Amino acid sequence: MRTFAINTLGCKVNQYESQQIRELLEQLGLSRCENADKANIVIINTCCVTHTASAKSRKYIRQAQRLSAGAVIVACGCLPTVQTDEFSIFGENVHIIADRHNLAADLTRIVNGGTAIKTDNSSKIHHNNDLALPPLTAFKDHTRAFLKVQDGCDGCCSYCIVPKTRPIVHSREPADVLEEAQVLVKAGHKEVVITGVFLGAYGQPTVRRKSWPGGENEAIAGLLEKIAQVPDLQRIRLSSLEPADVTERLLDVMKNHRNIMPHLHLSLQSGSDAILKKMNRQYTVKDFLKAIENINLQLDRPAITTDIIVGFPGETVQDFAQSLAVAKLAGFSKIHIFPFSKRGGTAAEKMQDPVNKEVITRRAQVMRELEKQLAEKFRKQFVGEIAEVLVENEVKKTGRCERYYEIAIKNGAVSKGEIVKCRINSDAVSGLLVES
């Protein structure tokens, strides 16, 4: 086997691990192939956070079987850890790696002509998230690099399958994180996104805040401050946090380091305390809005993005109205909207009082309309100002500014991966290059 291709579904953590898999396969002497139908080995790094993600993962495997005749296909990631019974239909050329602990060893064995170690059922899966994969030397084909510092969740949000796919909570040592950040900068990445399954639990053995000393965790703020001092690292972002993660120390670090972008992703999920309780979230609406207030007091017009689930079991007209009201109060710059669908293996799957699918569809559309209005209002306040844009597409001349919304550059030539200064036009989504 001399060539490989990787298809990745899911979150930033999965994308990071696909880069680790790429590094391992290249170390084993394989070359990456852009076209999966020409590869000797095809990796499908699966996701199962929703029913749709699981279905898409299986679809990718079937496509690989159809398009990559003669290739060895490997399915890894989250789906095999909870859905091992779904893979019997795929045939002998599909290797299922359900045990993260053996991922590197199994991939090496497959590359050398062997097979993955079989696990008969999920009870035999070690659930050890230490993949024994190499640290990254580059985040290839991406302008910004993801840097995983934490893994695992032992929380019990009623809609979420992740604690079954990544139950071991653990964090990387600061020295290892800093070393990898330095390597990524040397590889040419001007922006690094610090990510984890539950980033706010960095340095803690559990994500359950009641078990944390004092109920707060300052470890992520301390790590961020160290990363901000990596030479030549121009831009840093944090992936998803919860309200209690936004401590005074974290905001102080963000305020005092210009290379930390004024952008935070705070996952709301619902603006109703009754629904948040059913979801088993670790905060109230009051907690969330207090965090928003603190962020706006400490940072200059920060971008605050979020996730909202629409149509959770038991969500009434009033509950949905509260989600709309909280979104308006927060002034989100972007809302990721998720119409609720049952996920097998979660507590929410068996909850009573489901919301009609047509109602969910209507509510999702109402939320999308609000999202558009809020996003436009947020962008408009920067018209006429200078923004620094990290170029992602040099042909279309587009990239993302400090506050993470996309800017189209209307003049001059730009190169992918460079940071350029633009004066934002009246449409708030385009800009003109200005001299440094």
Which pLDDT tens digit goes with each residue over 386-407? 999 999 999 999 999 999 999 9
Q: Please, how many CA atoms are within 13 Å of residue 36, restricted to the half-sphere of its CB? A: 19
Q: Is the pTM of this model over 0.75?
A: yes
Give pLDDT tens digits for 306-327: 999 999 999 999 999 999 999 9
The rounded mean pLDDT for the chain is 92
Query: How would you label 338-374 residue by residue, b for 16+ Cβ within 10 Å and e otherwise?
Result: bbbeebeebebeeeeebbeeeebeebbebbeebbeeb
Residue 125 pLDDT grade (very low, low, confident, very high; cuts 50, 70, 90): very low
* Top-confidence residue, 165 or 1: 165
Q: Please, how many CA atoms are within 13 Å of residue 358, restricted to the half-sphere of its CB? A: 0
Average confidence (pLDDT) over 333-342: 96
Residue 38 pLDDT grade (very low, low, confident, very high; cuts 50, 70, 90): confident
Decide if pLDDT at 413 tops 80: yes
What is the model's pLDDT at position 1? 60
Give pLDDT tens digits for 147-159: 999 999 999 999 9
Give pLDDT tens digits for 289-306: 999 999 999 999 999 999
- CA atoms 341, 344, 345, 348: torsion sign: positive
Decide if pLDDT at 16 tops 60: yes
What is the model's pLDDT at position 128? 39
Count of Cβ atoms closer than 10 Å to residue 3 Cβ: 18
Least confident span in 55-59, 219-223, 228-232, 357-361: 55-59
| Helical pair 248-256 and 285-298, crossing angle rounded to 10 deg | 30
Residue 87 pLDDT grade (very low, low, confident, very high; cuts 50, 70, 90): low
What is the model's pLDDT at position 244? 95
Residue 89 pLDDT grade (very low, low, confident, very high; cuts 50, 70, 90): low
